[in-house]
Amino acid sequence: MTPRIAICVVTYNSAELIEELVASLADGAAGTDWTLVVADNASNDATLAEVRRHAPRATIVETGGNMGYAAGVNAAIRAAGAQDGYLILNADVRLTRGCAAALFAALGPQVGIAVPRLHDARGELILSMRREPTIVRAWADTVVGAERAGRWRALGEVVSDPDNYMKGRTTDWAEGSTQLISAACWQRVGPWDEAFFLYSEETDFNLRAGDAGLRTWYEPSARAQHLEGGSAGSPRQWALLVANRVRLYRKRHGPAKAVFFWAATVAREASRAILGRQTSRVALRNLVSRHRMHAPRSERWLVTAD
C-alpha cells in the first residue's frame, strides 16, 4: 500500500525559503500519499503568506510564540494525526525525487528513523551521521578536532570518513534537518523533548529510540539538499548549541559524569576563544556561568552575544 507520510516543517521567519521547499515536495515525496503540515513559531515576516500562496492545502499550526524546534515538531505531528510516518524537515531542505519513499522503505520492525544522504548548497557531502557523545569523544574533539577524531569510532562523534556514506548503515544519531520517523517509533519514543529549545533535540530523540530498541538508519539512495543556516557563525546560536550538548549529556548520564563532559567542552571552547573565535568566547562565558547552567526552562535559550 502507498504509505501515508506527513511532511512536518517548523518555520520561524522562513519566508524566503518556502517557495523552493514546496516546489521540491511533489518529486521528493513521489510514491507516497503525503500531506504538508507547517508549525509556525510566531514568524513576523511573510512566512505564513508564502505557505498559503505556494501550498494552499497545507495544514498550518500557529504555536503562538517562538516555542523552539522540538515544540514545533510536536505540534506538527499532533496536527498530522495518524500516519505511517512523519518526515521532519527544516525549511531550508530541498528533497530530490523519491527521497521520502526510499526513506520509508528503509524503516522496519527494528528501524524507527531513516535519514538521507545530504548535500549542501554547493553539492558537497554533509557529514550528517553521528556517534553517541562520550567524555572520550569530547576530549578528542578538544585536542585534535571533530573531523580528524571522527576517523576513529572510539574517538570521534562525527562520522567523518566519506566512504562510510556510500552504503546504508545504522548510526547512533543524525543531524535533524531531514528525518523520517515511523508511526511505531513515535508511539514508543515521542514526543521530542521541548527542554531543548534548539539543538540536541534530534540527538535526544534518536538516542532514546535506540534505548527503546529502534535504530536510526542512514539510507544513501534517499537524497536531499540542506542549505544549512550557519550556527557556527552566530555567537548566540553556537553558545546555545554548546550548552545543549552539555545539557543532553547530563540528562543521559547524571550530574557527576556530566562534570567531566562539561570540562572537556569548556577546554574546547577556551582553546578556540584564545585563537580569537568570537563564537567560542560567547559559548565559554555561558558554560562557566552557573546561572546559565541552572536557568529555568523558559530562559535556557536566552544566550546573549554581548
* 283-292 tens-digit pLDDT: 999 999 854 4
Q: Do 186 and 263 have their domain in common?
A: no
Q: Do 247 and 188 have their domain in common?
A: no
pLDDT at 294 over 60: no
Residue that the C-alpha cell 510516518 belongs to: 85
Q: Which residues, in sequence order, are CB contacts of 173 under 8 Å at separation 6+?
A: 130, 132, 202, 203, 206, 207, 210, 216
Q: Do 271 and 202 have their domain in common?
A: no
- The overall average pLDDT reported for the chain is 93
Distance CA 257, CA 299 (A): 24
Q: Do 222 and 237 have their domain in common?
A: no
Confirm whether 202 is domain-assigned: yes
Confirm whether 92 is domain-assigned: yes
Confirm whether 45 is domain-assigned: yes
Q: Which of 226, 260, 278 is the last residue of a domain?
A: 226
pLDDT at 231 over 60: no
Domain region containing 248: 231-299
- Global pTM value: 0.92
- pLDDT for residue 290: 52
- pLDDT for residue 232: 60
* CATH number, domain with residue 189: 3.90.550.10
Confirm whether 250 is domain-assigned: yes
Could you read off the pLDDT of 242-281 as tens digits, one per residue?
Answer: 999 999 999 999 999 999 999 999 999 999 999 999 999 9
- pLDDT for residue 220: 98
- pLDDT for residue 64: 96
Average pLDDT over residues 220-243: 86
Asked if 131 and 153 touch (Cβ cutoff 8 Å), the reply is yes
Question: Side-chain half-sphere of 84: how many Cα atoms within 13 Å?
Answer: 17
Confirm whether 78 is domain-assigned: yes
- pLDDT for residue 142: 95
Q: Do 26 and 153 have their domain in common?
A: yes
Question: Phi and psi of 187, rounded to 5°?
Answer: -65, -35
Confirm whether 305 is domain-assigned: no
Asked if 95 and 25 touch (Cβ cutoff 8 Å), the reply is yes
- pLDDT for residue 289: 85
Q: Do 83 and 9 have their domain in common?
A: yes
Residue that the C-alpha cell 547552567 belongs to: 293
Q: Do 46 and 139 have their domain in common?
A: yes
Q: Do 206 and 267 have their domain in common?
A: no
Q: Which of 226, 250, 277 is the last residue of a domain?
A: 226
Q: Which of 187, 209, 226 is the last residue of a domain?
A: 226
Distance CA 240, CA 133 (A): 17
Average pLDDT over residues 69-87: 98
Confirm whether 304 is domain-assigned: no
pLDDT at 295 over 50: no
Average pLDDT over residues 14-22: 97
pLDDT at 303 over 90: no
Question: Side-chain half-sphere of 74: how many Cα atoms within 13 Å?
Answer: 18
Q: Do 177 and 71 have their domain in common?
A: yes
Average pLDDT over residues 136-148: 95
pLDDT at 306 over 50: no
Q: Domain total for the chain?
A: 2
- pLDDT for residue 304: 36
- pLDDT for residue 229: 62
Q: Do 166 and 22 have their domain in common?
A: yes
Q: Do 99 and 244 have their domain in common?
A: no
- pLDDT for residue 293: 46
Q: Kindly state the percentage of the chain with pLDDT values over 90.
A: 90
Distance CA 134, CA 115 (A): 22
- pLDDT for residue 302: 39
Distance CA 217, CA 180 (A): 10
Average pLDDT over residues 106-133: 97
Confirm whether 293 is domain-assigned: yes
Q: Do 139 and 199 have their domain in common?
A: yes
Q: Judging by beta carbons within 10 Å of its beta carbon (0-12, 13-18, 19+), is residue 294 exposed, middle or buried?
A: exposed
Could you read off the pLDDT of 155-206 as tens digits, one per residue?
Answer: 999 999 999 999 999 999 999 999 999 999 999 998 999 999 989 999 999 9
